[in-house]
């Protein structure tokens, strides 16, 4: 199966510089790095200028890497479905900054957590707010020719592939699709079924493994250490004709962290038989 091999910046220890991330990614055979937008003095943050963003892209290119997509954890802090309008609007601004940065980077996709269902935000309310936010953001995405990928996460929301497909279809924009995380569904379903149902809506893929016997957030493990049926995942991806980036999103090793980068590259090659 032909695919492009990327790595998410969260796979590296927090103190790792962007330059060191790029060096390790290039050394271990990756074609791209997915950077994560943050606040404060992070190496990729909300207040960066166009020139500074171009500088990041230039540094990646110097070592032969692309910046294929942009991610963030800020939409957990500023959910697009929050009851407070000011918080929802900050979430919108986060995604708009991601789209602008992606355009400068030459990225294809931005990852968007569509919202959170909570005791205070009902499921139906979250659905309507998420759809409205995505329809609004689709215009920005089209303007910059960048895809929005709605990710399946542990947010008590979009708990089936039929529902995620319905939301994407109701947004009704060619610039809004799915950012499918293989590991995130195993506790609740079967990744190969999600892949087939979402089909061509899938714009990008995250991978991690998961041990179902653990059954909680600590069950996420490195590739090939869990229960993901990788042969069925690969078969489903072949069926839908996916040939984009496959990007591990795994917590770094506490010791010898570069070994995770090396092991993940080797595991991707073995799983997808490149």
208: left (phi over 0), alpha (psi -120 to 50) or beta: beta
CA-CA distances (angstroms) from residue 56 to 4, 10, 46, 53, 142? 20, 17, 14, 5, 23
For residues 5, 233, 71 and 79, what is the CA-based torsion angle, rounded to 10 degrees?
180
pLDDT at 30: 98
pLDDT at 2: 76
Which tens digits make up the pLDDT trace of 57-100? 999 999 999 999 999 999 999 999 999 999 999 999 999 999 99
CATH of the domain at 106: 3.20.20.150
Which tens digits make up the pLDDT trace of 143-175? 999 999 999 999 999 999 999 999 999 999 999
pLDDT at 273: 84
pLDDT at 215: 87
Total of domains in the chain: 1
Which tens digits make up the pLDDT trace of 101-126? 999 999 999 999 999 999 999 999 99
Residue 147 to residue 157: CA distance in whole angstroms: 21
Q: Give, in degrees to the nearest 5, the angle at Cα 195 between 191 and 197.
A: 115
Residue 164 to residue 155: CA distance in whole angstroms: 13
pLDDT at 1: 60
Binned at pLDDT 50, 70 and 90, residue 274 comes out as: low
Q: Which residues span the domain enclosing 243?
A: 4-272
pLDDT at 266: 97
Binned at pLDDT 50, 70 and 90, residue 272 comes out as: very high
Please list the alpha-helical segments (H only) found in the chain: 18-27, 50-62, 74-77, 85-105, 123-144, 161-171, 191-198, 230-240, 258-272
- What predicted TM-score, i.e. pTM, was given to this entire model? 0.96
Which tens digits make up the pLDDT trace of 206-221? 999 999 999 899 999 9
| Structure-token match 């986060």, residue found | 94
Mean pLDDT in the chain?
97
């Amino acid at each position: 199966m032909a695919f492009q091999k990327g790595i998410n910046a969260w796979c590296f220890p927090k103190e790792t510089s962007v330059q060191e991330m790029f060096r390790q990614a290039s050394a271990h055979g990756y074609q791209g790095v997915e950077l994560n937008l943050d606040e404060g003095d992070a190496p990729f943050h909300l207040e960066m200028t166009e020139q500074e963003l171009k500088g990041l892209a230039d540094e990646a290119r110097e070592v032969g890497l692309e910046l294929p997509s942009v991610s963030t954890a800020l939409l957990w802090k500023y959910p697009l479905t929050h009851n407070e309008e000011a918080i929802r609007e900050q979430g919108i601004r986060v995604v708009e900054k991601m789209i602008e940065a992606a355009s400068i980077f030459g990225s294809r996709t931005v990852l968007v957590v569509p919202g959170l269902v909570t005791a205070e935000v009902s499921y139906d309310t979250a659905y309507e707010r998420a759809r409205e936010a995505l329809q609004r953001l689709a215009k920005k995405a089209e303007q910059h020719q960048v895809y929005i990928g709605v990710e399946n996460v542990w947010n008590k929301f979009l708990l089936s592939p039929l529902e995620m497909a319905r939301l994407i279809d109701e947004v009704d924009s060619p610039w809004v699709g799915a950012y499918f995380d293989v590991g995130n569904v195993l506790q609740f379903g079967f990744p190969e079924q999600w892949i087939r149902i979402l089909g061509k809506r899938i714009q990008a893929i995250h991978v991690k493994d998961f041990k179902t016997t653990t059954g909680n957030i600590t069950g996420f493990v490195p590739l090939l250490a869990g229960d993901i049926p990788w042969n069925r995942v690969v078969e489903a991806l072949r069926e839908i004709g996916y040939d984009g980036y496959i990007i591990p999103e795994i917590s770094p090793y506490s010791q010898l962290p570069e070994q995770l980068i090396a092991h993940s590259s080797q595991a991707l090659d073995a799983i997808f038989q490149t």
